Amino acid sequence: MASTCSTTSLFLLLALCVLPALVSTRQLGNPFRVRGRVYCDTCRCGFETSASTYISGARVRIECKDRKSLQVVYSVEGETNSDGTYEILVEDDHEDQMCQSLLVSSPIADCKSADPGRDRATVVLTRYNGCLNDQRFANAMGFLKDQPLSGCPKLLKQYLETDE
């Protein structure tokens, strides 16, 4: 009887020690999926409006830098689909690194200048922050149209009007 209890206890102890390690190893093998959108700021507002269009074929890069040296230690690129959405797979956990999604290029001839305020988005790429899934979302990033559309002053006036 004592042998059965000690065998059961040993098995239970082993299960409690080994199973969490197996689960965390499985999670580390899954890549992160970073999703975001790229738009053309057709009114040169510095933010998305109802006149903004989403860019198909824009190039985006995910970069992770060492927090101390600020050297790039990881980089991977991707491209937006027909809806202006990108999804880039990022391998490994980038625990204490500073990771960002960055605009690389736009295929639209008159919308190629990255908006200095919307050309990058911070992305947390670690599993040690309470997030349970591998999906990460980056803020939308934008390029500026060379010349604003003719209807932009009217559109901006609507944004500035308040109901009082």
Q: Read off the pTM.
A: 0.78
Q: Give the pLDDT score at 13.
A: 53
Domain ranges (residues) in the chain: 31-158
Are 145 and 48 in contact by the 8 Å Cβ rule? The answer is: no
**Whole-Å CA distances, 125 to 41, 82, 116:** 28, 26, 23
Q: Which tens digit of pLDDT belongs to each residue from 36-62?
A: 999 999 999 999 999 999 999 999 999
Assigned fold of 31-158: Immunoglobulin-like (2.60.40)
Q: Which tens digit of pLDDT belongs to each residue from 80-136?
A: 999 999 999 999 888 889 999 999 999 999 999 999 989 999 999 988 777 778 899
